[in-house]
């Protein structure tokens, strides 16, 4: 799997696009240009609201139409995988575990008011609470990496 | 309507770039700890720096106003977004609502609460992402590449959003007024 793009180049471009989108279009709870978790919440809640007339909370930016960031991510990534010939049909090794981890990740993201992407955006915006959340994320990563390394050595 | 198109386009660009470069913010720190590889970590830092440079630039270009004064405003300083700071129906309140105009009796002001909640939730997010082998962005990319684990993760992800807002959040906002 050749890595054809340096991560820092890709990250810089994504940040520029996300900030511009957030400043001009997706403006309501600043900064909101790109958040995998919050936009996923808007997509899920907004779609259910439109289909079944529920009253699930969505952010002000999504009050008319649900946000399609998740759909765009899947389309873009699939296109990238096709271009590089990296599509693979891997069977699931732990479906229930992945399902639960996904649910926990969403819940923690919503409590921390952002996924890892938006926490970095908010920290760059100057939101002082985001500094704490990014620090907490680093702490959680360290703990989990330590657990993985320790259990691999046994 | 235009927000719909813009988010779709932003998602497509981000998805393509993230797939071609294996970008993962959580993987950055993990790779650095396990094998001393700094490629993904540089990615996270580049994201932060580029955003940090772009915010004032975007506001100069005519976008949403970004002022230093806004950082000290209570709403932003407490980490609550505009949606979650509305003093509306109880299901719209966020856990860190302590110094907001509330509809109930006066509650003690706990300035340490937003930071503590942020650290704990961030730690949970980091831990879960390592166990799942990727931050949420990377999980979308993996699912699009064909890894079925990523698809199950996304199922839990989206259902978790609905579950959180219907069951957990009202409970939390009563627990931490």
- For the stretch B12-30, pLDDT in tens is 999 999 888 888 888 888 8
* pLDDT tens per residue, range A66-109: 888 888 999 998 888 888 777 777 766 788 888 999 999 998 88
For A83, the closest chain B residue by CA position comes to B20
Residues 6+ apart with CB under 8 A from A88: B145, B146, B147
Compute the distance between CA of residue B172 and CA of residue A21 in angstroms, rounded to an integer: 32
The nearest CA of chain B is from the CA of A154 a distance in Å of 16
- Which of B43, B52, B81 comes nearest A7 by C-beta? B43
List phi, psi (to 5°) of B123. Answer: -65, -45
Q: Say how many C-beta atoms besides its own lie within 10 A of residue B175's C-beta.
A: 8
3-state secondary structure of B166: helix
- Kindly state the DSSP code that residue B23 receives in the 8-state scheme: -
Q: Where are the alpha helices (DSSP H) in B61-135?
A: 68-71, 74-77, 113-131
**Largest interatomic CA distance in chain B:** 54
**Largest interatomic CA distance in chain A:** 53
* pLDDT tens per residue, range B73-92: 344 444 444 334 333 333 33
Asked if B9's CB is within 8 angstroms of A71's CB, the reply is no
How many residues are present in chain A?
154
Q: HEC states along chain A?
A: CCCCCCHHHHHHHHHHHHHHHHHHCCCCCCCCCCCHHHHHHHHHHHHHHHHHCCCCCCCHHHCCCCCCHHHHHHHHHHHHHHHHCCCCCECCCCHHHHHHHHHHHHHHHHHCCCCHHHHHHHHHHCCHHHHHHHHHHHHHHHHHHHHHHHHHHC
Whether the CB-CB separation of B150 and A97 falls below 8 Å is answered with no
Query: Distance from first CA to last CA of chain A, Å, rounded?
Result: 30
pLDDT at B104: 44
For B169, the closest chain A residue by CA position comes to A111
Q: How far is CA A120 from CA A35, B40, B122, in A?
A: 10, 14, 12
Residues 6+ apart with CB under 8 A from A21: A33, A34, B6, B7, B10
pTM of the shown model: 0.79
Whether the CB-CB separation of A6 and B39 falls below 8 Å is answered with yes
The nearest CA of chain A is from the CA of B105 a distance in Å of 24
* pLDDT tens per residue, range A19-59: 888 888 776 677 788 888 888 888 888 888 888 877 777 77
How many residues are present in chain B?
177
Task: Say yes or no to pLDDT of B66 above 70.
Answer: no
So what's the ipTM on this one? 0.85
- Which of B55, B120, B164 comes nearest A110 by C-beta? B164
pLDDT at A52: 82
């Amino acid at each position: 799997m050749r890595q054809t793009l340096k991560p820092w180049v890709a990250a810089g471009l994504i940040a520029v696009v996300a900030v511009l989108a957030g400043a001009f279009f997706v403006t309501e709870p600043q900064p909101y240009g790109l958040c995998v978790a919050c936009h996923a919440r808007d997509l899920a809640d907004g779609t259910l609201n439109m289909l079944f007339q529920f009253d699930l909370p969505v952010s002000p930016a999504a009050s008319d139409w649900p946000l399609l960031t998740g759909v765009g991510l899947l389309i873009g990534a699939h296109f990238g995988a096709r271009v590089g010939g990296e599509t693979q049909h891997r069977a699931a090794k732990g479906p229930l575990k992945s399902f639960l981890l996904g649910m926990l990740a969403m819940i923690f993201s919503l409590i921390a008011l952002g996924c890892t992407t938006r926490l970095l955006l908010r920290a760059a915006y100057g939101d002082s609470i985001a500094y704490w959340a990014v620090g907490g994320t680093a702490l959680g990563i360290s703990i989990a990496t330590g657990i993985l390394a320790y259990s691999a050595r046994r | 309507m235009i927000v719909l198109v813009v988010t779709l386009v932003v998602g497509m660009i981000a998805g393509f770039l993230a797939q071609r470069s294996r970008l993962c913010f959580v993987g950055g720190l993990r790779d650095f700890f396990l094998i001393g590889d700094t490629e993904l970590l540089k990615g996270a830092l580049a994201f932060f720096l580029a955003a940090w440079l772009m915010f004032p630039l975007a506001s100069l270009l005519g976008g949403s106003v970004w002022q230093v004064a806004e950082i000290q405003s209570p709403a932003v300083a407490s980490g609550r977004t505009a949606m979650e700071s509305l003093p509306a129906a109880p299901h719209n309140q966020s856990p860190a609502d302590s110094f907001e105009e509330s509809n109930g009796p006066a509650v003690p002001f706990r300035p340490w609460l937003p930071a503590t909640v942020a650290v704990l939730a961030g730690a949970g997010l980091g831990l879960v992402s390592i166990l799942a082998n990727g931050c949420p962005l990377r999980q979308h990319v993996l699912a699009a590449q064909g890894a079925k684990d990523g698809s199950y993760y996304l199922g839990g992800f989206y259902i978790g959003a609905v579950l959180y807002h219907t069951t957990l959040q009202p409970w939390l906002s009563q627990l931490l007024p």
